[in-house]
Amino acid sequence: MSIKNVRKEVMQTLEKNVDSFLNDYLIPPEKIWQPSDFLPNPQSDSFMEEVREIREISKDLGNDFWITLVGDMITEEALPTYESWLMDLDGVSQHEENGDNGWAKWIRMWTAEENRHGDVLNKYIYLSGRVNMREVEITTQHLIADGFDIGTARDPYKNFVYTSFQELATYVSHNNVAKLARKAGMKNLGKMCKIIAGDEMRHHKAYTEFIRQIFAVDPSEMMMAYFDMMKLKITMPAMHLRESFGSQGNLFDKFSEVAQRAGVYTSFDYVDILRKLNKAWNIDKITGLSADAEKARNYLMRLPERMERIAERIVVPDTEHQFKWMNPIV
């Protein structure tokens, strides 16, 4: 049987547990928080007063903070790209006799939860008055239109490695923004980013569980898929960030520098995530590996130390990049 067909068969086996995954890792809309829980109520007499308070407090934080918060929001707003990519995986189908199969159902419900993140951040940033929303909206539209290639093709193993990594990376980013917001006295924004981070951690645990179960039934191919993704290096979802009239990806390096300088997401965070994934999947204890998979395991075990040495040599410039997001609205 071809590798592709084996993967499909494994996905079909795991699909039998999708309902338990939904119950364990996702929360019904009526029970989970909604964006309006953190935003001024437009039906309240105190609405304008609350908006003025947000605008006043927002003045206390510098451009680096707002650039990283906007970048996080835009990354969340590019959700249509992520859903369409996942819907194309081998083993995922929207066209079964009764409609969506279990995996398609999971992806739709995961997407529905993720959608709230960009929604609440967008509204808060809009109310803050600190950014040029038209420029932000142009960047978001470009990011969705440009799409991305994360190097996984339709391989579910590689895609679940990617989502395991990225969900933890977004947890780190939102959690660090929450700390900065609370330190500046923006308690509500801090709480908002903290609870978004909690969602990301819950989703991370789901995807790492999918990988754990794949390791149990197809250890060698799962190890090779993990190796391929780490050797390629994880591509960031915002890799194609651009401004109005800019070329594809011309903004990403500048944004990354700001995020590192602000301590929101750094090269050391990347290394820490590698360590956590190795530990979560107990790759040092997996048995029954092929010779190639054993070599892949050895590479993965050594990789965090190698990446850490590289991270220690990185010097983050203190250049104050100009972002159109922060330009006054004309």
**pLDDT, tens digit (0-9, with 9 covering 90-100), for 127-155:** 999 999 999 999 999 999 999 888 899 99
Amino acid identity for residue 140 in this structure: T
96: confidence class by pLDDT, cuts 50, 70, 90: confident
pLDDT tens, residue by residue, 153-176 = 999 999 999 999 999 999 999 999
**How many other β-carbons are positioned within 10 Å of the β-carbon of residue 74?**
27
1: confidence class by pLDDT, cuts 50, 70, 90: low
pLDDT tens, residue by residue, 103-130 = 999 999 999 999 999 999 999 999 999 9
- Number of helices followed by number of strands (H, E) in the chain: 13, 0
- Looking at residue 153, the DSSP 8-state letter turns out to be T
Q: Which of 269, 211, 262, 207 is nearest to 236 (CA)?
A: 269
Of the listed ranges 46-55, 94-103, 205-214, the least confidently predicted one is 94-103
pLDDT at 199: 98
Proportion of the chain in helix, strand, coil states, percent, rounded to 5: 70, 0, 30
Task: Please give the structure tokens belonging to residue 235.
Answer: 């591509």
Averaged pLDDT for residues 46-54: 96
pLDDT of 63 over the 70 cut: yes
pLDDT at 262: 92
Q: What is the DSSP string of 173-210?
A: HHHHHHHHHHHTT-HHHHHHHHHHHHHHHHHHHHHHHH
SS3 259: helix
Task: Give me the chain's average pLDDT, please.
Answer: 94
Averaged pLDDT for residues 56-62: 89
Catalytically active residues are 33, 76, 114, 117, 167, 170, 199-200, 203
pLDDT at 260: 93
- Chain length of the chain: 330
% of the chain surpassing 70 pLDDT: 98
pLDDT tens, residue by residue, 194-235 = 999 999 999 999 999 999 999 999 999 999 999 999 998 998
Question: What is this structure's pTM?
Answer: 0.94
CA distance 1 to 3: 7
pLDDT of 329 over the 90 cut: no
